Structure 1
Amino acid sequence: MTSSAPPDSPDSGHAGFGEHAPAASFGVAPGQPTGTVLDGRLAELLGGKKIVMTGVTGFIGELLLWKILTQLPDTKVALLVRPKGKRPAETRVRALLQKSIFASAREAAATPERPDGVANLLADRIEVIAGDLPDVPALPRDLDIVLHCAGDVSFDPPIDKAFSTNVLGTRALIERTIEACTGPDGTLDRVPHYVHVSTAYTAGRRRGAIPEAAHDHDVDYLAETAQAMEMSETIEKQSRTPGQLAELRRAAERDHRKAGYLTTSRDTERRRLEWVAERLVEAGTERARSLGWTDVYTFAKAMAERAVEDLGSSIKVSIVRPAIVESALSQPYPGWIEGFKMAEPLIMAYGKGQMPEFPASPDSVIDIIPVDLVVNATLAVCATDPEVGRPEYFHLNSGARNPLTYSRIYQIIRAYFQEHPFEINGKNPELPEWDFPGAAAVDRKLRWYRTGVDAARGALRFLPRSRTTRELARRVDKASAELEFLERYLTLYGEYLQSELHFVDDHTLALHRSLDPADAADWAFDSGAYDWRHYMGEVHAPSVTAPVRRGEHRRSRQEKVARGAAPLPKATDVLAAFDLDGTMLATNVVETYLWARLPELGPAGRLGEVAALARRVPDYLVAESRDRGTFLRSFYRRYAGADLAALDRLVDTELDGQILGRLSPDALRRVEEHRAAGHTTVLITGVIRPLTRPLRRYFDVIVAADLETDDDGICTGFLTGPPMVGESRGAWLRHYAQLHGIDLDRSYAYADSHADEPMLSAVGRPVAVCPDLGLLRVADAQGWPMVEWTRVRPVVEDAEARLGRERRPVSPVLARRGSTVWR
């Protein structure tokens, strides 16, 4: 087993290549550095230089800029930045410079006369070039170095995107570089240094030692690029064929029909774009593997290197190949990181107990390198002076002299979570114990697991809505999400988990050794000089888990507010919208209709009414499954012949107790809390308006279905307008907010059905109440809080007492056979 001790310690083991490698390795003998070396301090070597940079808004690029601004005081930069939406390139750079890591740079640039440090940096040291890859504009003619660290870094991008950014973008940048340095006579008036940040994994599916040199292959990068771009057009056309669109639309309708046509159409287009992306990813993966690369990412990066070698024959070229770049070892502070990289999903899943086993070879090396070492080395490369037309290569990795195996990282991360466990729903997850059974064994387990999860998901459709069903659905959905994560992770990184690559880093080591002693403290990049237990267990893991812990705490606070366990903020420009059936009221439109209809009928009439209703149930179910509005229109035909005024009186005198008796006490309490906070309370329901009359004192606004009447006040069986369901609820809220100065981002909505997704999406603080399975999954995906409001009926007297009325006996008129509401 590999030790985590530094290579120079007596007990360190070295299963790699380089200075400490065995005699049979391809490394160099101790004390005999090779390659370009530095001749002076970096601040002096790069002083007075102008560096054109790409990728400054990315992980490595941001830290490169920080390093230049804080430790290369006489170096200027020109940043190629893409405008994003309505944000110009300079606005994006200003926002970048406002980040906390640039505080010292801002302070150093500020003066009493010019206190705006960001403005001073932009005026004195930073030039912003609006542009993109591959549409690169003209570059400054006074450039000295071009540092290209932009590019698509996803492991599975669509093939066209991978080649457009990595290959066409690289070609365009080199061409603009040469143009900027070309004089009126068409010849170079100075030779720039082009530094290309690639990846160590451009080596592809090789084994053994990978030298710091050009890779040996005869793939035509121009032909591959042309084919990759054509693939996009071909698959895009396929996605728009009638058959494919119909299949995607039907799938969207199965999930979102109740929410409305626009929701369904948006989901159809989302599925089409996903289908195109998946086909392009698949095309890229298969083409890459057919030519000997692991995935389209490494394939496109390798083609970009060949473009650099081809077009850079007249300039100075250096190619930097980092391995897996993770959080900072020490600069700008230990653990600094932007976003999640390759190792973070693995660490999170393990800490949450979601990764029962892992298909890596325990003795395979995961070649991690801290980002600050990459930045130091890259800028040191910028300070070198390679020969024209002879590219130099530098591997930035740890596996050569300080290897970290999967077995070792498992031990470190397990120990970390044993001491600092996650807390999820008040519990610490159980940490799995890995024994590394091999990829085939793990794959078999995953197939069996998938079969069980799919069967459970199918069975859930037939279970009644209840708290037990929701809890079971969440467990099944969680298992499915964990399985999908594992399947995706293994698809992306499976080959890396069995890797037998050994990246030689002799040139990089020689460059490090040539640092001026005065630069050793701030510019070191020897990957063999740190301890893995310290870096992974005390620096990296705490840093990457901190946002997750904060997120769990934030979700916990949101849940408390949603449950009423925390006070609502007072405001007069906030509304709280409530659905009725299934959310506040434990009933439905069928049952409330029977409350009104059956008391007027004798035994035979009641039996006939129930039988007639039962015969229509299949039709109602079909209508409801397709569109809630269609169902309500159809069902409300049963009110034809009712006297609307008499129906109002019936509700006021006889049904108010039944309605209030079915209200959730938790729901009423929540409404009262919103009213106490000064919020506008809104009831939005498809229920007919007479049945909402007992709720008038609780709501400032009630939006309900209005029955149409003839000149005599008799219901025709039609509505005065479309029922307020699905997307119409979200549209109503937005219109109301605009008219009344309501801030929807700070407003609330409560609903129980997937059909209410547009209503919940219209506000900034949605809450799913006892949700059905469709809404449950939307809420989980969106991070919306969920609450369980009790359905226990309070006694009728308590409900009526809220209205300040005495309990009244049932009307003798309604007890007699005959009708006073229906004619």
Structure 2
Amino acid sequence: MISIPEFYRGKNVLITGATGFMGKVLLEKLLRSCPGIKAVYVLVRPKAEQKPQERVAEMMSCKLFDRLREEQPQCAQKLVAVSSELTQPELDLSKEDQDMLIDSIDIVFHCAATVRFNESLRDAMQLNVIATRQMVHLAQRMKKLEVFIHVSTAYANCNRKHIEEVVYPPPVDPRKLIESLEWMDDGLVNDITPKLIGDRPNTYTYTKALAEYVVQQEGSKLNIAIVRPSIVGASWKEPFPGWIDNFNGPSGLFIAAGKGILRTMRASNNAVADLIPVDVVVNHTVAAAWYSGVNRPKNILVYNCTTGGTNPFHWGEVEYHVISTFKRNPLEQAFRRPNVNLTSNHLLYHYWIAVSHKAPAFLYDLYLRITGRSPRMMKTITRLHKAMMLLEYFTSNSWVWSNENTNMLMNQLNPDDKKVFNFDVRQLHWAEYMENYCMGTKKYVLNEEMSGLPAARKHLNKLRNIRYGFNTILVVLIWRVFIARSQMARNIWYFVVSLCFKFLSYFRASSTMRY
């Protein structure tokens, strides 16, 4: 078969969701590693202050595209911004733009979706299902279309413990649900949402499952492949390690842990944290389009893009590497020293929430009020708890994903393509990746300069001394209030101290005799 860059040579590509996290990395990768590509059309929602072309130009000026601009200074000339609103009828495309896309596009990457777990069912259906349906209908009219790639999620069928690389029947007919939502008011929709989503944790996973079925049923005449990434995180290698630009998913929790705000979390230490670097997902997606475009398979190919089955990494390990990284390379103006306790025990979790989150936040806000400033920590803690609740399902459970199609695709690549479009997660070294991930949140999300590390380390040492001082005062108070006033308490205290002294003396004598 021809190589991946040769397949994309002279092709016109359409990307939805190009201004999102994964969409930007996909755009950069296509332009940089497939230099023969003719043009990339991106659907962009217009904003009041910016035209689509201006939004794309601003996006291209960010650090993610530095390497591309250096290697290919004229790359921006291949970009075509198309004004579109995916939540509107016919995607809010003008007649001229529709005709242009119908006549020009060879490959479609449908990446756009709402990734908010707590989105209302109506809004999640609108962007994840109805917009996908409209994209499929538009693709069916494209005269030169070779392949349609739909980016889903590995958790679309998370109500199953073992997930194959197939499209599963949905719990309801998407068309009937779409028709029902047209006459239901918001109150009724919210009331029936828990019954509709059933044993799925949120509207995101529910609507992504429906979208897969829509793609399969209504795109039966198209050459389609579906890519299902798990928890998409910072880049592994490309265009450089640690690229991340948002607080979504685990990134916000990593930052909260580094700041010392997140102290406890409901999670299972032994549950698999199925993180997948964004550049791995993008390489996998680009290769999936190549394979389907060249081979024209009879059935839809579904790819589970995950790490748990081939290179498992657990939440307990995630916690260890996040905390150790931020202790060595602290975030600026940390609230407390980084330290997180993971627990799956309900009572223990709520105890730590009260002691480690709410009590310090209340005291800090009280201090801010006394000093004439606005309290803010309790609001921060409340937002953090809401984010934690949305992720508890995924940090407390594990799944088994089949990877036959993914392994097949990997084996089809020639040696050069395996290097340039690497998605072999067996090569992923988790300790190195997690350090780059954490440093990426520091540099690219919080925009903290590495030159500020000495001051941040000094601040962390100050927080350590404050903690030691507080603990000393607490022990003295306990002694004065409880122990010093009771003869029985003093006797118990002296007994414990003398017992410890005897043990220390015994071990010291034993070690001396051995010497």
Match among 192, 199, 221 for residue 174 of structure 2: 221
Shift of residue 200 of structure 1?
Answer: 0.7
Q: Identity across aligned pairs (percent)?
A: 25
Q: Which amino acid aligns with 1:470?
A: I
Deviations 1:193-236 (A, max 9, x none): 110001111013222x21111124442112223344545x444x
Shift of residue 355 of structure 1?
Answer: 2.3
Shift of residue 393 of structure 1?
Answer: 0.3
Residue 196 in 1 paired to residue 150 in 2?
yes
Q: Which amino acid aligns with 1:352?
A: K
Alignment correspondent of 1:382? 289
Contact persistence 2:358–2:381 (CA under 8 A)? no
Residue 514 in 1 paired to residue 412 in 2?
yes
Contact persistence 2:263–2:357 (CA under 8 A)? no
Match among 367, 372, 387 for residue 489 of structure 1: 387
Alignment correspondent of 1:286? 194
Counterpart secondary structure, 2:114 = coil
Alignment correspondent of 2:398? 500
Alignment correspondent of 2:133? 171
What TM-score do the two structures reach when normalised by structure 2? 0.77
Q: Which amino acid aligns with 2:441?
A: V
Residue 404 in 1 paired to residue 313 in 2?
yes
Shift of residue 411 of structure 1?
Answer: 1.4
CA distance change for structure 1 residues 109 and 406 in 2, over 3 Å: closer, same or farther? Answer: closer
Contact persistence 1:314–1:389 (CA under 8 A)? no
Contact persistence 2:147–2:224 (CA under 8 A)? yes
Alignment correspondent of 1:352? 259
Residue 470 in 1 paired to residue 370 in 2?
yes
CA distance in 2, matches of 1:293, 1:213: 18
What does 1:114-129 align with in structure 2 at a 5 Å threshold? 117=74, 121-122=76-77, 125-129=78-82
What does 1:108-507 align with in structure 2 at a 5 Å threshold? 110=73, 117=74, 121-122=76-77, 125-134=78-87, 135-136=90-91, 137=93, 138=98, 139-181=101-143, 192-207=146-161, 209-228=162-181, 230-231=183-184, 233-235=185-187, 286-287=194-195, 289-290=197-198, 292-385=199-292, 387=296, 390-424=299-333, 429-432=336-339, 434=341, 436-443=343-350, 445-446=352-353, 469-471=369-371, 477-478=376-377, 480-507=378-405
CA distance change for structure 1 residues 510 and 471 in 2, over 3 Å: closer, same or farther? Answer: farther
CA distance change for structure 1 residues 452 and 109 in 2, over 3 Å: closer, same or farther? Answer: closer
CA distance change for structure 1 residues 452 and 414 in 2, over 3 Å: closer, same or farther? Answer: closer
Shift of residue 65 of structure 1?
Answer: 1.0
Alignment correspondent of 2:44? 81
Structure 2: 5+ residue stretches without partners: 456-515
Contact persistence 2:268–2:315 (CA under 8 A)? yes
Shift of residue 378 of structure 1?
Answer: 0.4
CA distance in 1, matches of 2:410, 2:368: 62
Contact persistence 2:267–2:342 (CA under 8 A)? no
CA distance in 2, matches of 1:420, 1:455: 28
Larger displacement relative to structure 2 (97-106 or 525-534): 97-106
Alignment correspondent of 1:565? none
Deviations 1:621-676 (A, max 9, x none): xxxxxxxxxxxxxxxxxxxxxxxxxxxxxxxxxxxxxxxxxxxxxxxxxxxxxxxx
Shift of residue 548 of structure 1?
Answer: 3.3
CA distance change for structure 1 residues 431 and 224 in 2, over 3 Å: closer, same or farther? Answer: same
Alignment correspondent of 1:535? 433
Counterpart secondary structure, 2:251 = helix
Shift of residue 477 of structure 1?
Answer: 4.5
CA distance change for structure 1 residues 405 and 229 in 2, over 3 Å: closer, same or farther? Answer: farther
Q: Which amino acid aligns with 1:416?
A: T
What TM-score do the two structures reach when normalised by structure 1? 0.50
CA distance in 2, matches of 1:129, 1:304: 23
CA distance change for structure 1 residues 412 and 150 in 2, over 3 Å: closer, same or farther? Answer: same
Contact persistence 2:304–2:402 (CA under 8 A)? yes
Structure 1: 5+ residue stretches without partners: 1-38, 111-116, 182-189, 236-278, 461-466, 558-823
Paired residues in the alignment total 440
CA distance in 1, matches of 2:417, 2:22: 21
Alignment correspondent of 1:679? none
Contact persistence 1:422–1:429 (CA under 8 A)? no
CA distance in 2, matches of 1:79, 1:507: 28
Contact persistence 2:32–2:72 (CA under 8 A)? no
Match among 22, 41, 58 for residue 60 of structure 1: 22
Deviations 1:347-403 (A, max 9, x none): 122222222222101100111111111111100011012656621101111111111
- Greater length-normalized contact order (CA 8 Å, ≥ 6 residues apart): 2
Deviations 1:564-611 (A, max 9, x none): xxxxxxxxxxxxxxxxxxxxxxxxxxxxxxxxxxxxxxxxxxxxxxxx
CA distance change for structure 1 residues 223 and 204 in 2, over 3 Å: closer, same or farther? Answer: farther
Contact persistence 2:105–2:145 (CA under 8 A)? no
Shift of residue 509 of structure 1?
Answer: 2.1
CA distance change for structure 1 residues 90 and 455 in 2, over 3 Å: closer, same or farther? Answer: closer
Contact persistence 1:212–1:393 (CA under 8 A)? yes
Shift of residue 310 of structure 1?
Answer: 1.1
CA distance in 1, matches of 2:120, 2:381: 23
Alignment correspondent of 1:241? none
Q: Which amino acid aligns with 1:193?
A: V
CA distance change for structure 1 residues 549 and 438 in 2, over 3 Å: closer, same or farther? Answer: farther
Shift of residue 444 of structure 1?
Answer: 5.5
Contact persistence 1:81–1:132 (CA under 8 A)? yes
CA distance in 1, matches of 2:288, 2:372: 56
Shift of residue 52 of structure 1?
Answer: 1.3
Q: Which amino acid aligns with 2:141?
A: E
CA distance in 2, matches of 1:149, 1:216: 22
Counterpart secondary structure, 1:200 = coil
CA distance change for structure 1 residues 403 and 70 in 2, over 3 Å: closer, same or farther? Answer: same
Counterpart secondary structure, 2:48 = coil
CA distance in 2, matches of 1:471, 1:513: 64
Shift of residue 284 of structure 1?
Answer: 7.9
Shift of residue 140 of structure 1?
Answer: 3.2
Shift of residue 472 of structure 1?
Answer: 9.9
Contact persistence 2:260–2:335 (CA under 8 A)? no
CA distance in 1, matches of 2:52, 2:167: 35
CA distance in 1, matches of 2:373, 2:449: 23
CA distance in 2, matches of 1:345, 1:191: 39
Match among 61, 66, 83 for residue 98 of structure 1: 61
CA distance in 1, matches of 2:347, 2:181: 32
Contact persistence 1:60–1:375 (CA under 8 A)? yes
CA RMSD of aligned residues (A): 3.1
CA distance in 2, matches of 1:367, 1:536: 13
Contact persistence 1:288–1:296 (CA under 8 A)? no
Alignment correspondent of 2:5? 43
Task: Pick the structure with more helix per residue.
Answer: 2
CA distance in 2, matches of 1:502, 1:103: 38
Shift of residue 180 of structure 1?
Answer: 2.3
CA distance in 1, matches of 2:340, 2:30: 44
Deviations 1:182-202 (A, max 9, x none): xxxxxxxx6631100011110
Which structure has the larger Rg over C-alpha atoms? 1
